[in-house]
Amino acid sequence: MRRSLPTCALAAMFVTACVLHVPAARADKASAEKTLADKGLTKRGSYFVLEGETELAKKVSAARRSKSVMDRGLRDLRKEEAKLKRIKSYIAGKRFEARKWFKQLSEPNLTAARNNQIVAKLELIEGELKEIEQGPLKKQQGVFNEVNGTYIEARDKYIAMVLESQADSKKLAKAYEDLSKDAAVTGAIKQLSEADEKKYVLGPSSVFKSQNAVAGTMARQIITEDIEVKVENDVPWVEVIINGKQRRSMVLDSGAGLISLPWDVAEGIGLTPSADTPVIRLQLADGKIVEGWQMEIKSVQLGPFKVDNVECAVLPKELVAAEPLLGGTFLKHFVYKLDLKNKRIDMARVKGH
């Protein structure tokens, strides 16, 4: 005859089994959590995510604020530029008027009274121009330079932040892709889901997807290009397209404030100074001061980067050895880095800027 165990003995065995099972379950859960932590994953809601998501969100938010600063800077710059152009236009008009009066000095049968009248008019114009150039023009040029510097700093900062955010976003996406193929990670998430009776999933989270979309949108508004540079005797040359059709090789000179064109090159693209063309003083690389003419090129393009209505200087005919220089009136529109060793120039520009 079989004898059954007392009820108290069965209860004792059940308690013992539970005691053995609970520590084991806890140990398995702790092991799974450690596996995920070692991979850099943190639980947030029902997701296990990388800490980089938080940093990306901060960078994207900072980039958006930076864009507001940049856009405001551009509005301020255009306002000050318009003021500067009005002053320069007035000066150009007065110089044109002065040239007309000056021509009259060579008229035949000019009386002394008429000569004195013309000279007095010229002195009056020159006096007014000197006053404007030393006063309003100088002041407005200073304001423009300051606002331009502020804008360029904001623009360069924004481009750097966007490109960094995009790089981080791509890095995170690749890390999640690799983790999704890691059996230890997927096994640990499954184990924790069963232990907590809750569905856990590997990131990226919805927050990351949102920030990634914003970073992508900002990055698409930035044009970047790696352009070939020819180097001859340590001098960088690039090929540009002028007025949408004419190709010209020019020296890339970040130290030149203006695009500078020798007379024959300017003539070849249809820029021939006339008696009414504003005269400007230019300092050559050897320190020599010469007079040239301030003119405007309809468009200049380097790679995918195009600028319309670019101010340039046309050099006098006697400077036959001068090289065409691609200077600041074009380059100021871009963020660029010249690499002479690898014969490349990395350029970037925000669309609409």
Position 301, amino acid: Q
Write down the pLDDT at residue 4. Answer: 52
Tens-digit pLDDT profile for residues 177-231: 999 999 999 999 999 999 999 999 999 999 899 999 999 999 999 999 999 999 9
Q: By three-state DSSP, how is residue 111 classified?
A: coil
Write down the pLDDT at residue 288. Answer: 82
Q: Angle 48-41-61 (CA atoms, 0-180°, nearest 5)?
A: 80
**Cis amide bond preceding 204, omega within 30:** yes
Question: DSSP of 196-230, one letter per residue?
Answer: HTS--EES--HHHHHHHHHHHHHHHTEEEEEEE-E
Q: Encode the chain (353 residues) as per-residue pLDDT tens digits.
A: 445 545 444 444 444 444 444 565 677 888 989 999 999 999 999 999 999 999 999 999 999 999 999 999 999 999 999 999 999 889 988 988 998 999 899 888 889 999 999 999 999 999 999 999 999 999 999 999 999 999 999 999 999 999 999 999 999 999 999 999 999 999 999 999 999 999 999 999 998 999 999 999 999 999 999 999 999 988 999 999 999 888 999 999 988 889 999 999 999 999 999 877 888 888 877 778 888 999 999 999 999 999 999 999 999 998 888 899 999 999 999 999 999 999 999 999 999 88
Cβ density class 145-155: b for 16+ within 10 Å, e for less: eebbebbbebb
Write down the pLDDT at residue 40. Answer: 93
Write down the pLDDT at residue 181. Answer: 95
Tens-digit pLDDT profile for residues 134-170: 999 999 999 999 999 999 999 999 999 999 999 999 9
Q: How far apart are CA 152 and CA 74, in angstroms?
A: 9
Write down the pLDDT at residue 25. Answer: 60
Question: DSSP of 168-202, one letter per residue?
Answer: HHHHHHHHHHHHHT-HHHHHHHHHHHHHHTS--EE
Write down the pLDDT at residue 23. Answer: 63
